[in-house]
Amino acid sequence: MRVLGINAIFHDPSAALVDGGQVVAAAEEERFSRRKHGKRPVPFSGWELPEKAARWCLDEAGLEPGDLDAVAYSYDPALVEPGIDGHDVQWERLRTLYAQRAPNFLSTALPGLDPGIVRYVPHHVAHAASAGLAAPGPGDGDVLVLDGRGESHSHLAGTYADGTLTTLRTQRLPHSLGLMYEDLTEHLGFLRSSDEYKVMALASYGEPRFLDELREHVGATGDGGFAVVPIDWGALAKARAPDGEWTRDHADLAASVQARLEEVLLDLAAWLHGRTGSGRLMLAGGVALNCVANSRLAETGPYDDIWIQPAAGDAGTALGAALHLARAAGEPVTAMPGADLGRRWDDEALARYLDTAKIPYERPDDLAATVAEALAQNEIVAWFQGRSEFGPRALGHRSLLAHPGHAANVERLNDVKGREQFRPIAPMVALGHASEIFEGPLPSPFMLFVHRVRSGWRERIPAVVHVDGTARIQTVAPEDEPLVARLLEEFRRRTGLPVIVNTSLNTAGRPMVDDPRDALECFGSAPVDLLAIGPYVVRRRGVHAR
């Protein structure tokens, strides 16, 4: 069965292709359009489809639209209760109308597609399937979905057995932990539905001194749900202008909301575990990208094993919807092979891009050794290898790399990317050395947990140690990422450090680099010393010399 998954209704529009129960491709529209998050999550953008991502998924599988058996759309307009979340009823009706017209929009965008094969998958069911059906190993286990909103809910708690989801609890709007965090993001002067990770970073600089007040407004209800009463943010901390300086009040408010979110998440997980007794929990939804909360759940929660969908935000619902439809049709589905599900280019194609750009390049005998030497000399490296990542994390395919032993590299990389200096940068680490350096859930291949940096290492890798003594790590296993594993080993031989700084290959406000032209543009516009693109190396001094 050939199923194309589509996420389009809110933000991060994306497409995914499942063929014969196997994940073939998945990509976000932003990587093609170069528009961050694809679009804003407003009702009048609901008609916009991930046309380029969908077309590429079909091309990657060698299919035409007419070859598809089904299209899974990750939102069911029949489940919408207009006005339930406090939004304007007329606007909500417009979004619902666009969703109802989606089959016709899709057949226009993909000529040859039969609109009759489009099926609606409830938003949170799609989220749940993106975790419960895509996770490696035994498929049985509990699933918890938390985000801003779906059709009329903001949460789903359930359990999977033999690939079938049993929903145990949902939470109706207007109560939403995700929307609460979005409201705080906006109050603190950041872009809602986009910059929530900045709030999480800022929280590390504060103390949760507003926690008692927040407990009066936000809490679990004891039956698997929760309540969020409207919060007067201004009574706790003055609103920050988008270009204003952050204050202690702002950091303390962020820390307080972060702490309360973690407490409620623990309560919800405890209720779910009490119903099932399962040892495994799988997470999806935008809240699952909060790696600080994930780590607290892993450390003090009731589950022995936690797996998180690397594209946990709305982009992942395209994948989940496709898997859900395939499984519902009786087809066995297999775990996603990794997060590298996007575009790739062969060596000849990359060389043509470089030749067209008329810049000097070389093909070293040992790419890993050449790049490791540059990093050891404290150069910044743009790393473009293999298939691009699905989801918001750079995982060794579209990355900026640097030496972790120089504290100044935090400011240096934030300047390269043009972002706030309170933002941390993350490390990739060889899996075999991870437990020596970091304390927390291992392995951590998708950078979705934070780990405490052991005291003997904090002075050795200061660039990747956040203000609270933690780091959001990516562990690298040779069987999963052989080239990156070799790079780490070559760097260790030169420096004694099995750790490299890894942050996304992009600049502020731009999506992660995806194709070779993006990589060359980023390299040309930012003070990066070396570009490793496929087997080739472009050096900054070579560009200047020309």
The CATH number covering residue 121 comes to: 3.30.420.40
pLDDT at residue 88, rounded to an integer: 64
pLDDT at residue 475, rounded to an integer: 98
Same domain, 142 and 286: yes
CB atoms inside a 10 Å sphere around CB 480: 17
Same domain, 356 and 479: yes
Question: What confidence tens digit (pLDDT) does each residue in 523-536 have?
Answer: 998 999 999 999 99
Q: Are 514 and 524 in contact (CB under 8 A)?
A: no
Q: Are 514 and 398 in contact (CB under 8 A)?
A: yes
Which helix H or strand E contains 352, and what residues bound it? helix 347-357
Q: Is the pLDDT higher at 475 or at 90? A: 475
Average pLDDT of the residues in 285-312: 97
Same domain, 69 and 198: no
Same domain, 272 and 147: yes
Residue 517, pLDDT > 50, answer yes
Residue 87, pLDDT > 80, answer no
Residue 457, pLDDT > 50, answer yes
Residue 405, pLDDT > 60, answer yes
Domain assignment present for 334: no
CATH number of the domain at 409, please.
Answer: 3.90.870.20
Residue 84, pLDDT > 70, answer no
Tell me 389's DSSP state. Answer: B
Domain assignment present for 82: yes
Residue 207, pLDDT > 50, answer yes
Average pLDDT of the residues in 66-71: 98
Strands 164-172 and 153-161: antiparallel
* End-of-domain residue from the set 297, 329, 361: 329
> From edge to edge, which strands make up the β-sheet containing 14-19?
22-28, 14-19, 2-7, 70-73, 118-120
Average pLDDT of the residues in 156-163: 96
Question: What confidence tens digit (pLDDT) does each residue in 373-398 have?
Answer: 999 999 999 999 999 999 999 999 99
Average pLDDT of the residues in 509-526: 94
Average pLDDT of the residues in 44-69: 96
Domain assignment present for 342: no
pLDDT at residue 420, rounded to an integer: 86
pLDDT at residue 545, rounded to an integer: 41
Domain assignment present for 399: yes
509: confidence class by pLDDT, cuts 50, 70, 90: confident
**Which residues make beta-bridge pairs with 531?**
382, 538
Enumerate residues 6+ apart whose C-beta is below 8 A from 204.
255, 292, 424, 466, 467, 468, 470
Q: Is the pLDDT higher at 94 or at 532? A: 532
Q: Are 427 and 502 in contact (CB under 8 A)?
A: yes
Same domain, 290 and 144: yes
Domain assignment present for 339: no
Q: Within 13 Å, how many C-alpha atoms sit on residue 303's CB side? A: 30
Enumerate residues 6+ apart whose C-beta is below 8 A from 454.
436, 437, 438, 439
- Reported residue count of the chain is 546
Q: Quick check: bond before 443 cis, omega within 30?
A: yes
Domain assignment present for 335: no
Question: What confidence tens digit (pLDDT) does each residue in 171-188 have?
Answer: 999 999 999 999 999 999
Same domain, 98 and 59: yes
Same domain, 304 and 171: yes
Same domain, 65 and 96: yes
Distance separating alpha carbons of residues 475 and 440, to the nearest angstrom: 12
> What residue numbers bound the domain in which 100 lies?
2-126+315-329
Share the mean pLDDT of the chain: 95
pLDDT at residue 43, rounded to an integer: 85
* pTM for the whole structure: 0.96
* Least confident residue range of 192-196, 420-424, 463-467: 420-424
Domain assignment present for 338: no
Which amino acid would we find at residue 273?
H
Same domain, 87 and 160: no
Same domain, 269 and 357: no
pLDDT at residue 418, rounded to an integer: 85
* End-of-domain residue from the set 278, 308, 338: 308
Same domain, 197 and 221: yes
Residue 424, pLDDT > 70, answer yes
Domain assignment present for 17: yes
Total domain count for the chain? Answer: 3
* End-of-domain residue from the set 300, 329, 358: 329
Residue 85, pLDDT > 80, answer no
Distance separating alpha carbons of residues 180 and 231, to the nearest angstrom: 9
CB atoms inside a 10 Å sphere around CB 316: 34
Same domain, 55 and 114: yes
Average pLDDT of the residues in 434-460: 97
Residue 544, pLDDT > 50, answer no
